[in-house]
Structure 1
Amino acid sequence: MEETKNDRISPREFRAAEGVSDWRVVFDGARAHFATGSFEKGAALVFAIAELSDAAGHHPDVELQYATVAVRLISHDIGDISHRDLALARRISIAADELGIVADPSRVQTVQIAVDALDIPAVMPFWEAVLGYRQEGGEDVVDPLGHGPNVWFQQMDVPRPQRNRIHIDVSVPRDEAERRVAAAVAAGGKIVNDAYAPAYWTLADLEGNEVDVAAWRDDSD
């Protein structure tokens, strides 16, 4: 329906809303991770989500594993989260609570691979082909099955020899970011750049391979 096309909601508004304490906004939408404890209980939650989604005419991505159910909400018609996602998130949380299922927001994350490129249109088809992905917009290739990490192409202005051209981005909630950084440092890593913290930190392992721990999406307008 046309009236749904402009119902975008900011991450800040989503986070401040009532009834969504189970949910966190990361790179690719609003996510929740429910600890079900059993496959049977997880299946019951998935069934409840299916009924709620059909009734709303708005459908999330749901992953059922033995003791967990992971849910991602995003409105594909606008490429972002919307008030439709907020409403469905609330209903899903109520259904989980009625089943005695508790969410674990600390498990929420999205991982993407970032490739620095001088000529993005020239290199993107290679990654699309070798991974079996599809292009989405002018900067990403994505797994059509929704299993693998997104690959994002970052524009370079000049070559940067002797520096990593590919790194990992880990999008986590703001309340998880500092713990994740501290754990990585304790495991032998080092902070390469914290000038933009708490929006994101750049860390590296002992051999200089870099990763960004990014929380900016969960705190943006």
Structure 2
Amino acid sequence: MTYVENEIQRIKPREFHETAGLEDWRVVGEGACAYFRTGSFAVGVQLVQAIAELPAAGNGRPDIDVRGDGVNVRLITLTGEFFGLTGRDVELAREISAVARRLEIPADPSAVQTVQVTVDALAGPAVVEFWRALLGYQDRAGSPEDLVDPRRRGAPFYFQELDRPRPERNTLHVDVWVPYDQAEARIAAAIAAGGRLVSDAEAPGHWVLADPEGNEACVGVAGWTGPVPTVG
């Protein structure tokens, strides 16, 4: 199968996680991510150069963040109608992992996450228009409830429509997307730090937490592959 054919083969998060050869990667809300512990900026640059030489790494793909101790790589397919994972991302993920192994750079799947800001609104379209203008964001393909950074740097914004005023709860919160095998530990750490579990009704998709003053946040996972963790 060619890269062009794979480009239109859409992949769900669970399918991605259950595919052999992708153990370095986790789907965390905005695409599939891997973190490689390089130990130095120079080694990180070496890894990026090797990735850039892969035939499939073209047209601005993948998104790469280089820091002094490691490199974060994100794969996601963006078209006018689609914002998600495809077969091409699967193949490129395998190739990037192979390059890292050749350079003896270890991956740390537990180190990846993405953050999303969620706004609950009564006047949805008007609120979206304000945030689109303020942030310089654009609509996410196929999802009018989302705004995304066209430069793929800032956190996405997600908008949920309210059917009534809700003064008893905050209407803006943070969603933290973590690897499916890190959710239980992350939630436990947040509770140990003074938080509380508000709801696990949507587990294992996401859990609602609150800080000591009642400000809410969600821990989300994509493509859960194991038993639902016991938290609280």
TM over 0.5: yes
Q: In the alignment, what sits opposite 1:218?
A: 223
Give me the TM-score of the superposition, normalised by structure 2. 0.88
Amino acid at match of 1:219: W
Q: Which stretch has the larger CA shift, 138-147 or 72-81?
A: 138-147
Q: Out of 6, 9, 18, which is 1:7 matched to?
A: 9
Structure 1 unpaired stretches of 5+ = none
Aligned residues: 218
Corresponding residue number in structure 1 for 2:87: 83
- Cα deviation, 1:109-161, whole Å, max 9, x if unaligned, reads 11000000122111112112222322324112222232221111011122212
Q: Determine the structure 2 residue equivalent to 1:108.
A: 112
2:52 matched to which residue of 1?
Answer: 50
Identity %: 53
User: Where does structure 2 lack aligned partners over 5 or more consecutive residues?
Assistant: 226-232
Whether contact under 8 Å (1:191, 1:202) holds in the other structure is yes
- Call closer, same or farther: CA 1:15–1:212 in 2, change over 3 Å: same
Residue from 199, 202, 206 that aligns with 1:193: 199
1:22-68 per-position Cα deviation (integer Å, ceiling 9, x unaligned): 0001211111011110011000110111111x445462111111111
Partner of 2:121: 117
Is the 1:173–1:218 Cα contact (8 Å) retained in structure 2?
Answer: no
Q: CA RMSD in A?
A: 1.7
The 5 A counterparts of 1:97-176 are 97-136=101-140, 137-176=143-182
- The structure-2 alpha-carbon separation of the partners of 1:56 and 1:62, relative to structure 1 and needing over 3 Å to count, comes to closer
Q: Check whether the contact 1:96–1:102 (CA below 8 A) recurs between aligned residues.
A: yes
Judged with a 3 Å threshold, the aligned counterparts in structure 2 of structure 1 residues 187 and 151 are, in CA distance, closer, same or farther, namely same
SS in 2 for 1:182: helix
Partner of 1:72: 74
Cα 1:55/1:28, change in 2 over 3 Å:
closer
